[in-house]
Amino acid sequence: MNRPSNPQRDPSGMAEAGGLLTIDLAALVANWRALAARATGAECAAVVKADAYGCGIAPVAGALAAAGCRTFFVAHLAEGRRVREAAPEATVYLLNGLLPGTAPALAEAGLRPILGSLAEVAEWNGFAEATGWTGGAALHIDTGMNRLGLAPAEARTAAARPPRNLALVMSHLACADETDHPLTARQVAAFRELRTLFPGIAGSLANSSGIFLGGAAYHDLVRPGVALYGANPTPAGANPMRAVVRLEGRIVQLRRVAAGETVGYGATWTARRDSRIAVIAVGYADGLLRAASASDHKPGAEAVVAGRCCPLAGRISMDLAAIDVTDVPEEQVMRGDLATLLGEEIGVDALAARAGTIGYEILTGLGRRYHRVYV
């Protein structure tokens, strides 16, 4: 069947998308440079796991590598391969360790495992000895997270026959974002002591929040993650990072709701006055968490429409959300306009708070249906 051509069609797809996600790579690089400047004397790496916290692993790694970042951390082998394509000369570490039988694949891709158990150390050593492989590896020592890593006693065992080609010893802070949490001081002290088991090997402890703990947490390499993408690494104070993500939802319908009528599934939100509602084409399938819904008993997330902050109305559904735009002059909001859900005005931490979660979940949940723009 022949279809008529449409000369008006937007080749970029922007006009057809329900949501627009803009990633500010200049802000991302500025955040990395600010963190690097704070961590005096230490190399500043970048954690780009989970598709660079939802921002796109290839463009993010490429921009950071161009800015001078030499070391990256990912979770999985497939992520490591993508970083290797974007940053061919970079050092790339796999945080989730060495899965059984994957050493040849890591070597082929030029990636470094972070060994987190004696079994992984033994498998890595066996591979390196059998093949003559000289690529580096890291050793993860657990100092209190009780997740991945060798226990202190196991680290002493490993020190007697350390991993072949060991290039880095690291640990992971559990509570660095909580001011004066007692576990942090214990972890800093424990890592300082355990590092001495591996003389001459670089050390890494500080994550995003750890960079704000001071020099005792820096060692040779810091590895910020969420702060690069604009989330606040110091929740008790003002956010020192620049916003990187801007999320806008397309208004697909404007409607009037009389006082006393309800909006959305479950009829949980009731109009207290004659209201105007803007319905946007973004829902929980796009990462706008249902927990950020509004009801008669709890305020939900907000959106900026025509420069005004407006509350959500009712439950967020799979593909749609409703915004109360009653206080926006009618001539300033039209079908097809964009409502801002994340940006300079509403940070990832603010949206996360309304959903009862953390900025990490907001960022990593950013949907694939958005039209993405990198600036």
Two structure tokens written together for 42: 């230490």
Two structure tokens written together for 225: 């993650």
Q: Is 265 labeled as catalytic in the residue annotation?
A: yes
Q: Which of 49, 218, 284, 370 is catalytic?
A: 49
* d(C-alpha 187, C-alpha 172), whole Å: 9
Two structure tokens written together for 239: 């956010």
The CA angle 304-366-75, to the nearest 5 degrees, is 145
Q: Which of 53, 218, 229, 265 is catalytic?
A: 265
Q: Is 218 labeled as catalytic in the residue annotation?
A: no
* d(C-alpha 28, C-alpha 61), whole Å: 10
Two structure tokens written together for 263: 């909006």
CA-closest candidate to residue 301, choices 28, 357, 291, 68:
291
**Which are the contacts of 166, defined by CB distance < 8 A and separation ≥ 6?**
136, 137, 138, 139, 198, 201
CA-closest candidate to residue 195, choices 242, 140, 241:
140
CA-closest candidate to residue 163, choices 137, 141, 202:
137
* d(C-alpha 132, C-alpha 348), whole Å: 47
- Write the burial class of residue 69 (CB in 10 Å: 0-12 exposed, 13-18 middle, 19+ buried): buried
The residue length of the chain stands at 375
Tokens 């022949």 found at: 2
Torsion of CA 368, 25, 226, 90, to 10 degrees: 100
**Which are the contacts of 16, defined by CB distance < 8 A and separation ≥ 6?**
10, 371
Two structure tokens written together for 171: 């640990």
Print burial letters for 263-299: b (CB count within 10 Å at least 16), e (below 16): bbeeebbbbeeebbbbbbbbbbebbbbebbbbbeeee
Catalytic residue set? 49, 265
